[in-house]
Amino acid sequence: MASNGKPKLALYWASSCGGCEIAVLALHEKILEVADAFDIVFWPCAMDFKEEDIKAMDDGSIDVCLFNGAIRNDDNEHMAHLLRQKSKVMVAFGSCAMEGCMPGLANFTDREQMMNFIYHDSPTTDNPESIEPQVITEVAEGELRLPAFWNTVRTLDQVVPVEYYLPGCPPEAKWIEVAVGAILSGELPPPGSVIGADVTVCDECPRTKSEKKITRFYRPQEIIPDPDICLLEQGIFCAGIATRGGCGALCPQVNMGCRGCYGPNEGVIDGGARLIGAIGSVIEGRTAEDIDAVLDTLPDPAGYFYRFSLPHSLLRRVHLVNDNGRNVAQPIKEVPRLDPSLNE
């Protein structure tokens, strides 16, 4: 606790789009209650704090750190370790910190391929001197440093121990309120818990299901869906069947299939694998050829199934680059958490 008796709160963004920071502001006037209830000691997005301020604090002196964003570079990792050291409770806030989310889609490729495309091969690149960003650049005024870009995107709990997870891309304000309320009252669930609903998006969805099978998938622009019938049974990809509820089925209620941003439902280790099984159950067809024909109408199946969860899945990534810069196959197995060898 701070000398004023208020618990100390830190908020930080690592590899993040900024949406999770906006989600905190979406508390609207309740943000004033947060500011009143906590002593906010670090929130670089909103207030002028420096890393040195955190370094000067005693270990464990921050009561709660809400950490959003994935771990994509050495600066993200450094801040995760520093804030872990200074915080009693670490919360993986939002899908990027919890599962890897959009930054984690980069695990379908690798650093070398990304650098080649962005700085050399893309149709709009104009880079006659083949310059690539360097970690250290000497200039007349001294040394400039950029964060080192890791090959593999990781989740927060693959870098430091995490007490709680707040799902969503971004988390809905009502769940942030639940988390803040639990912290203030001291009535926190057991460490390791996801602060969220114990149902699927399907359970919250008002659309009617009839166990109808589908013979193809449609993209949103190819069909005007019936407003009352399950989107999946109309051939529109919907991950609600294997996604943790809590958002109130926001997307299906506006004719968009759930994309799975709240992550897998309770007890599921690999959300993508669970989703493959669930989607498979609605496909018409008895033979592998029949099923392949239906899946051929789904563009980018890996992106659909692992849109939010690739770094936290059992797959983790598609392949790794070894020290010689060559791609090496990554076996499909669980890689131990907190494995520092995935840095490079």
What are the residues binding ligand SF4 (CB under 6 A)? 16-17, 19-20, 68-69, 94-96, 101-102, 169-170, 201-202, 205, 207, 209, 230-232, 238, 240-241, 243, 247, 249-252, 258-262
The single residue listed with the structure tokens 């197995």 is 333
* Pick 13 or 320: Cβ nearer ligand SF4: 13
Residue whose CB is less far from ligand SF4, 282 or 320? 282
Q: Choose between 252 and 271: whose C-beta lies nearer to ligand SF4.
A: 252
- For residue 168, the one-letter residue type is G
- Please name the residue ranges forming H helices in the chain: 19-25, 30-37, 51-55, 74-86, 95-99, 101-104, 111-116, 173-185, 201-204, 271-280, 288-295, 301-305
DSSP secondary structure letter of residue 336: P
> In the complex with ligand SF4, which residue's Cβ is closer, 6 or 216?
216
Q: How far apart are CA 70 and CA 311, in angstroms?
A: 9
| φ, ψ of residue 88 in degrees (nearest 5) | -75, -40
Closer residue to ligand SF4, CB minimum distance, 73 or 320: 73
CB of 331 to ligand SF4, least distance (A): 28
Residue 88: CB minimum distance to ligand SF4, A:
23
> DSSP of 33-58, one letter per residue?
HHHHHSEEEE-TTTS---HHHHHTSP
Nearer to ligand SF4, 13 or 38 (CB): 13
Minimum CB distance to ligand SF4 smaller for 151 or for 246: 246
∠ CA 68-72-78 to the nearest 5 degrees? 75
Could you tell me if 42 and 62 are in contact, meaning their C-beta atoms sit under 8 angstroms apart? yes
Compute the least distance from the CB of residue 322 to ligand SF4, in Å: 29
To ligand SF4, the closest distance from the beta carbon of 160 in angstroms equals 18
* The pairing of beta strand 87-93 with beta strand 71-73: unpaired
Asked if 92 and 67 touch (Cβ cutoff 8 Å), the reply is yes
Is residue 342 within 8 Å of 152, Cβ to Cβ? yes
Angle at 163 between CA 160 and CA 164, to 5 degrees: 115
> Cα separation of 211 and 128, whole Å?
57
**Which residue lies nearer to ligand SF4 by CB, 207 or 317?**
207
In the complex, the smallest distance separating the C-beta of residue 20 from ligand SF4, rounded to whole angstroms, is 3
Smallest distance from ligand SF4 to CB 128, Å: 34
The DSSP letter of residue 105 is G
Residue of 252, 243, 251, 257 whose CA lies nearest to 196: 243
Q: How far is the CB of 40 from ligand SF4 (least distance, A)?
A: 19
The β-bridge relationship of strands 136-139 and 142-145 is: antiparallel
Output the smallest distance, CB 142 to ligand SF4, in A.
Answer: 32
